[in-house]
């Protein structure tokens, strides 16, 4: 065999798995048809956060007058793109450096399986084991006019040379809301059209309602329970809502209805699959014993950090160690203003599973650090099962949510109780002390909440 393991795909899951395999003494190659880092580093997680931070800076400038600071700004979209490209280039280069450091061969091109031990790129390569880490691709719904000029997907949304005067975003999921936040701050008039009747249905209604109120406060039009029927020439988006047909004109349409598993190149294997992607067990093994699959291609949770975690799991199992994936405490993050983050069960799910639950909340309006920052919008919510007071879920909306959620991740993973969270000393003034306060509220002994 040419290699012990060949990893198909150099995104966060693929390159992480390759590095761990090398550390475990395996001879490894990574096949990548584009740039190392995958969608996350090149078109997704990282570049969008550059733009999200730019949006945050603009909002900070606008709010500075509340602190007695009168400021103005001028937006240079070309320089913003250059900043994004510098960040991406540096991180992608860093992955390349790590490949060299760990003596991992990078094979450029699109891989195609010939059989369970052979893959073809520029030539044929053999390996004892394979990891399929080909990620996902943008899903384009069957909407008439979706291929018209001016209709873009998230892959191209950060390549625009000018800020749209008016942009229609189809889909109010994580991708759609993040771009709505970005383009609204950059100066676009934003219209969101979403099929579902509730924003962010994976979250409790109080979180979703707070975000909806915030969107409307920013003058972002939000049309829930609405379906796009077609897009006409001149970028006229025709949609139905409450049985009525309406039309909205714009200069850009962003299709952000989700992503689907990228399963190109595996046809020869005849793997067990469902409509979401490749089926795997808790060891990340497919129906063929020497072939593993991780990340978006499995049709599971589409997050870069989940793919990386699954890559580690697969690597250890290939190396002969017994390791199972535990996805009960996966943090989810929405980089809007305010941010949203959640982990574990929401309140509805917890009541369905445990019956009796305890809920604790703490508002940012009573949080000293948030008030000093002028960021009073939001709250922390903790969900615990009532028998042992074990924490089973946490939801946060507010500044810093994507950072402080990890206390909830640890609490759920290690089965902390409300008492343990409440008893842990939290620094003051900080955003994270809201978690202690919410735990005390769930126990019925709040200190700083009326």
The residue ranges of the chain whose pLDDT is under 50 are none
Q: Tokens standing for 422?
A: 């409440």
| pTM confidence score | 0.95
pLDDT of residue 364: 97
pLDDT of residue 242: 86
Q: How many Cα neighbours within 13 Å face the side chain of 347?
A: 16
Q: Find the DSSP H helices in 205-287.
A: 205-217
pLDDT of residue 243: 87
pLDDT of residue 151: 97
Q: 45-63 vs 174-186: helix axis angle to the nearest 10? A: 40
pLDDT of residue 160: 84
Q: Do residues 24 and 149 touch, judged by C-beta distance below 8 A?
A: no
Q: Do residues 398 and 371 touch, judged by C-beta distance below 8 A?
A: no
Burial of 59 (0-12, 13-18, 19+ CB in 10 A): middle
SS3 content of the chain, % helix, strand, coil (to 5): 35, 25, 40
Alpha carbons 371 and 214: distance in angstroms, whole number: 17
Alpha carbons 393 and 376: distance in angstroms, whole number: 23
Q: Do residues 441 and 423 touch, judged by C-beta distance below 8 A?
A: no
pLDDT of residue 450: 82
DSSP letter string, 365-391: GG-HHHHHHT----EEEEEEETTT-BE
Alpha carbons 119 and 194: distance in angstroms, whole number: 41
Alpha carbons 402 and 387: distance in angstroms, whole number: 29
pLDDT of residue 161: 87
The catalytic residues are 428
pLDDT in tens, 342-370: 999 999 999 999 999 999 999 999 999 99
């Amino acid at each position: 065999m040419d290699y012990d393991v060949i990893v198909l795909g150099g995104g966060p899951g693929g390159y992480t798995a390759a590095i761990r395999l090398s550390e475990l003494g395996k001879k490894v190659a990574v096949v990548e048809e584009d740039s190392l880092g995958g969608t996350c580093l090149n078109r997704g997680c990282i570049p969008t956060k550059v733009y999200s931070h730019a949006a945050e800076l603009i909002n900070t400038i606008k709010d500075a007058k509340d602190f007695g600071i009168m400021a103005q700004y001028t937006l240079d979209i070309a320089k913003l793109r250059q900043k994004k490209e510098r960040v991406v280039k540096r991180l992608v280069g860093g992955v390349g450096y790590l490949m060299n450091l760990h003596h991992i061969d990078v094979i450029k091109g699109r891989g195609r399986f010939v059989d369970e031990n052979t893959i073809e790129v520029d030539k044929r390569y053999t390996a004892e084991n394979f990891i399929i880490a080909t990620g996902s691709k943008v899903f384009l719904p069957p909407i008439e006019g979706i291929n018209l000029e001016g209709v873009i997907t998230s892959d191209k949304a950060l390549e625009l040379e000018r800020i749209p005067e008016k942009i229609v975003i189809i889909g109010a999921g994580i991708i759609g809301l993040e771009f709505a936040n970005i383009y609204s701050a950059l100066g676009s008039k934003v219209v969101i059209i979403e099929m579902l009747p509730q924003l962010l249905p994976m979250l409790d209604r109080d979180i979703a309602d707070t975000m909806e109120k915030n969107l409307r406060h920013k003058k972002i039009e939000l049309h829930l329970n609405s379906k796009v029927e077609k897009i006409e020439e001149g970028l006229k988006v025709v949609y139905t809502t409450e049985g009525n047909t309406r039309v909205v004109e714009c200069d850009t349409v962003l299709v952000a209805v989700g992503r689907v598993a990228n399963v190109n190149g595996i046809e020869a294997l005849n793997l067990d699959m469902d409509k979401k992607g490749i089926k795997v067990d808790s060891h990340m093994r497919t129906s063929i014993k020497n072939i593993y699959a991780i990340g978006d291609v499995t049709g599971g949770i589409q997050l870069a950090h989940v793919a990386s975690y699954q890559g580690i799991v697969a690597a250890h199992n290939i190396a002969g160690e017994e390791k199972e994936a535990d996805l009960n405490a996966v943090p989810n993050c929405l980089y809007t203003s305010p941010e949203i983050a959640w982990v574990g069960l929401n309140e509805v799910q917890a009541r369905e599973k445990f019956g009796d639950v305890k809920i604790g909340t703490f508002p940012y309006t009573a949080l000293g650090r948030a008030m000093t920052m002028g960021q009073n919008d939001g709250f922390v919510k903790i969900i615990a099962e009532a028998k042992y007071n074990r924490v089973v879920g946490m939801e946060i909306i507010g500044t810093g949510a994507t950072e402080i959620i990890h206390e909830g991740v640890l609490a759920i993973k290690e089965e902390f109780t409300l008492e343990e969270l409440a008893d842990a000393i939290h620094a003051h003034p900080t955003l994270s002390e809201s978690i202690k306060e919410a735990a005390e509220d769930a126990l019925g002994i709040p200190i700083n909440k009326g």
